[in-house]
Amino acid sequence: MAVIHKLAITQFRNLNNQYIELNKQLNVFVASNAQGKTSLVEAVYYLGHNRSFKTKALKELIQLNHQQFQLAAQVDDYRLKLEKSKQKTLISLNQNRLKNSSELSKLLPIQIITPDKGFVVNGTPKNKRSYLDWGVFHLKPDCLSDFKKYHKTLKNINFLLVQQKQQELDYWFLEIAHLSSKINQARQDYIEQLKQTNSAELMESLSQSFCLIDTFDYQFKSGWPKEVDAFNADSIYQYLLKSKAFLMKAKYLNYGPHKASLDFLLNDQQECFLSRGEQKTLSIVFWLTQVSLLVNNNTYPIVLIDDISSELDQSKIQTILNYLQQLKVQILMTDIGINTLRIDPENTSIFKIEKGVITQG
Ligand SMILES: Nc1ncnc2c1ncn2[C@@H]1O[C@H](COP(=O)(O)OP(=O)(O)OP(=O)(O)O)[C@@H](O)[C@H]1O
Ligand SMILES: [Mg+2]
């Protein structure tokens, strides 16, 4: 069960030197604009992913006039630490250095709900893949090595295509065909499990407050053309061989898991036709379904919700909180006020943020 008990943030955005002890259930951070709400959420996200959801530029994250930032947390019984400067990244678990960040992600699974990352329904394929693969990874961590090998293989193929090295391509085509079919299967299996989760009490509890009517469906798009059986390595391989001349011209492999997506449908209507309110609502249903599925499989993600009332009214926020609390996951939520929320003071800590200083109470 992932719970952040203690959190220390040093020189990250406008948070200079902050230490807080968190409630194992609900934590609400209240502040007016530009005080540090998103910075806090981004810091926790960064610790779990070794990247930001807002920027790739490290210099935006390191506090002005400093050379590095440091994030540290006690998550369950583990002490995680991440130090980052232009020259180096240091990640440690109980003071032992970790070579890569996948161990961090495993110990600190984080689901984020924020307008800054964009909604998943009618979102970009990249954003859809990012949410999808987050779930696949946490349910089936072994998949990570296939994803890594896939991206290396893709790089090799694109290099050979640019260099016009025809003869060497076949070997890598075979390799990518195998990896693709494995990734496609893992993604498809995960989606099937999500759909089963979806049909449960989640839709029921959300439907009243969100006025949702019956069928919310999603379909996996593998990233390969329709004529290819995306779960069959040989079918992919034969397609690649057949398309070799075309690919040599294009100099880039434009098909495969790196182009996969999800199509969302509400009552058979495609996502692009839905209103912004419907897109937002369904995105939240999708994210909560992911959390629910992981909890069913004994992984308790920490849920970050930034700037919630700019996107949702109080009754919807209440429904989301009730649902998440019933799942017993830890929540870190930011808002500009908590006027009308019914929160149980026993299981809630409220913090204020003013000019980057976080205080409890
Ligand atoms: N690298 C940095 N160093 C110092 N300050 C920074 C850095 N990056 C951003 N800031 C500042 O941190 C402050 C807080 O930003 P943040 O996005 O966390 O605000 P917020 O509380 O989420 O506001 P809003 O309610 O408008 O979303 C802003 O004034 C921003 O300019
Ligand atoms: Mg913000």
Q: How far is CA 16 from CA 10, 58, 60, 325, 354, in A?
A: 5, 16, 14, 31, 12
> What distance in Å separates the CA atoms of residue 253 and residue 214, rounded to the nearest whole number?
39
What is the homologous superfamily of the domain 117-292 according to CATH?
A: RecF/RecN/SMC, N-terminal domain (1.20.1050.90)
| CA nearest neighbour of 56 among 41, 40, 70, 42 | 42
What's the whole-number mean pLDDT along residues 251-256?
Answer: 97
Instruction: Identify the CATH number of the domain defined by range 1-109+300-361.
Output: 3.40.50.300
Q: Is the dihedral of CA 224, 176, 103, 41 positive or negative?
A: negative
15 lines ligand 1 (CB under 6 A): no
pLDDT of residue 200: 56
Ligand in nearest proximity to the CA of 42? 1
What's the whole-number mean pLDDT along residues 290-299?
Answer: 94
- Is residue 213 within 8 Å of 267, Cβ to Cβ? yes
Tens of pLDDT, residue by residue over 88-128, are: 999 999 999 998 888 899 999 999 988 788 889 999 999 99
68 lines ligand 1 (CB under 6 A): no
309 lines ligand 1 (CB under 6 A): no
pLDDT of residue 267: 85
> What distance in Å separates the CA atoms of residue 332 and residue 304, rounded to the nearest whole number?
5
The protein residue whose alpha carbon is closest to atom 2 in ligand 1 is: 13
Provide the residue ranges of all domains of the chain, joining segments of one domain with +.
1-109+300-361, 117-292
The protein residue whose alpha carbon is closest to atom 8 in ligand 1 is: 13
> What distance in Å separates the CA atoms of residue 361 and residue 359, rounded to the nearest whole number?
7
What is the percent of the chain where pLDDT is above 70? 94
Q: How far is the CA of 356 from the centre of ligand 1 (A)?
A: 8
Tens of pLDDT, residue by residue over 169-203, are: 999 999 999 999 999 999 999 999 998 886 556 66
The protein residue whose alpha carbon is closest to atom 26 in ligand 1 is: 33
Per the prediction, the chain carries an average pLDDT of 92
